[in-house]
Chains A and B, each alone.
Chain A
Amino acid sequence: MSDRFVYVTYISTTPEKLWQALTDAAFTREYWWGMFLESDWKQGSRWAMKFADGRLNTTGEVLESDPPRRLVLDWHNEYSPELIGDGPSRASFDIEQIGEMVKLTVTHEAQPKLLESVSGGWPKVLASLKSYIETGKPLPNPGNCAAAREQAA
C-alpha cells in the first residue's frame, strides 16, 4: 500500500449515531446520494457498497470492527474499469468523542489511481454526512453540480 489519504472532520453528534451513519444502509442512502452499504459488520464478514440501482461499487472484508470506535475495511473497487484490480486498499474509520462532538478520522491506503479517486470522494461524502447529521439535510452531489454546470456552459 503505497500511500494514504487522511481526512478529519468534527461533527456535533454521538459516536453511536456516527457509527450508524457510516454502516446503516438506510442512513448512507440519505447522504451518500443513494449509495448503500451491506454487511453484518463483524470482523471477517464481507461488506459491499452498492449504487442506488443495486450495482456493486466496492466490496471487501471487514478487517476490524469495534463499534462505535473503529472500523477497518478491506476495499476493492468493483465498477470502474480503471480501478478494478488496482492493488490492495483499506479504509479505516476512527471515531473519538470530544465533549459534545465527535472527531472522525478516515484513513484510506491505496495505490495511486484509487487513492486519487477516494481523495476526491471522501471530502464530498463526509461534508454531506456532517450536513445531514447536523441539519437533517444532506448536500447535493458535487459531481452532479459540476456536470450540470459543464452542460450549461
Chain B
Amino acid sequence: MSSQFVYVTYIRTTPEKLFEALTKPEFTRQYWYGVSSESEWRVGAEWKLRFSDGRIADAGEVLEYDPPKRLVLKWRNEFRPELKAEGFSRCVMEIETLGEMAKLTITHSIERDNAKFIEAVAGGWPQVLSSLKSLLETGKPLPSAK
C-alpha cells in the first residue's frame, strides 16, 4: 500500500553542519541541482525547493523540526504533472553522531504502490547526497549528473 526509498550515508562532519547543509539555501544551491530550500523552519511552516530560475520544484510543510537530529517534511513534486498527481509524500531526515562523523538516513515514502514519485527520488537522492558529502568533506560539490 506504499512505496519507500531509504538511503544511508556517512559524512565526516558535525550534525549541526549537516543540518544546516540540508536546510539553508546558500548550502543547498551548491550541491542540489541549484535549488534553494525555503522555509521559516518551524513545525507547520511552508517549505519549498526553488530552482535557480524561480520555478518551484517541490513544496510542502515542515512536520517535525528538531535540529540537528531530525527533520520531517510533507513533500509534493510541483513541476512534473505525473508526479504531482501522486500527491504528498513524507520525507524523514535523521542525523546521528558517530564519533567524528554523522550518519544521515533519508526515508522517503508515499501511500501508494509503485509510485513514480518514489522512483524519481530513488534516482535523485543518491546524486544529491553524494554531492552533499563531497561538499562537506572536500569543499567542492560534484558536477551535476544531469
Contact residue among A8, A9, A10, A142 (Cβ-Cβ distance under 8 Å from B101): A142
Q: Chain B contact residues: over half helix, strand or loop, or mixed?
A: mixed
Q: How many residues of B contact A (CB 8 A)?
A: 23
Closest to A11 in B: B130
A89 beta carbon closer than 8 Å to chain B: no
Residues on A with C-beta less than 8 A from B100 are 140
Query: Measured between alpha carbons, how far is A98 from B10 in the docked complex, in Å?
Result: 23
* Interface stretch (choices A58-66, A71-79, A121-129): A121-129
Closest to B10 in A: A127
Q: When the two chains form their complex, are residues A131 and B137 in contact, meaning their CB atoms are under 8 A apart? A: yes
B138 beta carbon closer than 8 Å to chain A: yes
Q: How many residues of A contact B (CB 8 A)?
A: 27
Query: Measured between alpha carbons, how far is A137 from B11 in the docked complex, in Å?
Result: 12
Residues on B with C-beta less than 8 A from A10 are 126-127, 130-131, 142, 145
Residues on A with C-beta less than 8 A from B134 are 12, 130, 134
**If A134-B134, A134-B138 touch, does A148 touch B99 (CB 8 Å cutoff)?**
yes
Closest to B6 in A: A119
Query: Measured between alpha carbons, how far is A91 from B142 in the docked complex, in Å?
Result: 26
**If A12-B134, A103-B145 touch, does A123 touch B8 (CB 8 Å cutoff)?**
yes
B112 beta carbon closer than 8 Å to chain A: no
B98 beta carbon closer than 8 Å to chain A: yes
Interface residues of B in 4-37 (CB under 8 A from A): 7-12
**If A134-B137, A140-B99 touch, does A9 touch B10 (CB 8 Å cutoff)?**
no
Residues on A with C-beta less than 8 A from B145 are 10, 98-99, 101, 103
Residues on A with C-beta less than 8 A from B8 are 123
A2 beta carbon closer than 8 Å to chain B: no
**If A130-B133, A134-B134 touch, does A146 touch B98 (CB 8 Å cutoff)?**
yes
Closest to A105 in B: B126
B143 beta carbon closer than 8 Å to chain A: yes
Residues on B with C-beta less than 8 A from A137 are 12
A53 beta carbon closer than 8 Å to chain B: no
**If A135-B138, A142-B10 touch, does A127 touch B143 (CB 8 Å cutoff)?**
no
B103 beta carbon closer than 8 Å to chain A: yes
For A103-138 the 0/1 string (1 means CB < 8 A from B) is 100000000000000000001100110110011010
Q: Chain B residues in contact with chain A, CB under 8 A?
A: 7-12, 98-101, 103, 126-127, 130-131, 133-134, 137-138, 140, 142-143, 145
Q: Chain A residues in contact with chain B, CB under 8 A?
A: 7-12, 98-101, 103, 123-124, 127-128, 130-131, 134-135, 137, 139-140, 142, 145-146, 148-149
16 cross-chain CB contacts under 8 A: A7-B126, A10-B130, A11-B130, A12-B142, A99-B143, A123-B7, A123-B10, A124-B10, A130-B130, A130-B133, A134-B137, A139-B12, A140-B101, A142-B98, A145-B98, A149-B98
